[in-house]
Amino acid sequence: MAGTAIADEALNVAEHQVVRPDGTKLRLVVIRPCAPGGQLPVVLHCHPGGWMLGAPETSGPTLVDIARNVQCVIVSVDYRLAPEHPFPAAHDDMMAALRWVQSQAKDLDADTNRIILAGESAGANIALGVALRLRDEGDDPTIAGLSLVYGPLDDRTTTQPAHPHAGAIGLGADHMRFAWASYLGDGPADAVSPYASPARAENLAGLPSVFLAMGAIDPVIDENLAFAQRLIRDGVPTTLHVFAGAPHGFDRWAAADVTVNLRNLRNQHLNRCIAP
């Protein structure tokens, strides 16, 4: 599920290494226009894979599409994977990547006042958890937006009946239970951090503009709809798109109309968030 190397003649693709406190290295894939003009906003991206699989290359077609249609620097994080590395390993890697972007802003020609956190599936969960942590700690930088596609947002849904059509194609409720258990590890259920399971946050006020998208037969549909309602009630600008008949991971079919539609809508939101 790692995917093929990311390449496009109009884009510059490079790898960077960030040394963790334990001496291991975190790989970042940086994608930018070959001929940028001035400082560019940053899309800090987390790939999908149920917290257990994948790499930045998993999202290669998505990242290339964003880079072609949004004038930005993309930094995709090759975070540590569960179950060998349960929460907070991936979360901490995303935070380390964010700090790296801040420290390298000059070399990247990056505008750190315009950073968007983005991800699909498990990556959407990690991106949202980081946004909540930054909000709670009152930490810089201020995040300009969140771009979240079919993210699992609430571990508690694994103990509830799924709606009758969820998982009819592809990923189902059993897969989600296994993924959550692998990510959260062996800790007590009542001690799960809202940075691991964002729906556990007591309030969502103070988050930036949020884009949520998922398919109607995705097992995460109910928790995303509930989360969108909470965002709206807490005064967070919220864009919600539900795609009829679409399963989890539907955007892997790059030429499908539903994928083209998703990418267009997502890019529109990204461009609104980074507008000067």
Q: Catalytic annotation on 248?
A: yes
Distances 270 to 20, 66, 97, 116 between C-alpha atoms, Å? 30, 9, 20, 8
Integer Cα distance of 18 and 96 in angstroms: 8
Q: Which of 65, 248, 251, 269 is catalytic?
A: 248
Q: Catalytic annotation on 45?
A: no
- DSSP letters for the chain: ---PPP--TTEEEEEEEEE-TTS-EEEEEEEEESS--S-EEEEEEE--STTTS--GGGGHHHHHHHHHHS-SEEEEEE---TTTS-TTHHHHHHHHHHHHHHHTHHHHTEEEEEEEEEEETHHHHHHHHHHHHHHHHTPSSPEEEEEEES----GGGGGSPPPTTTTSSSS-HHHHHHHHHHHHTTS-GGG--TTTSGGGSS--TT--EEEEEEETT-TTHHHHHHHHHHHHHTT--EEEEEETT--TTGGGSTTSHHHHHHHHHHHHHHHHHH--
Q: Which of 121, 147, 197, 209 is catalytic?
A: 121
Q: Catalytic annotation on 76?
A: no
The residues carrying an active-site annotation are 121, 218, 248
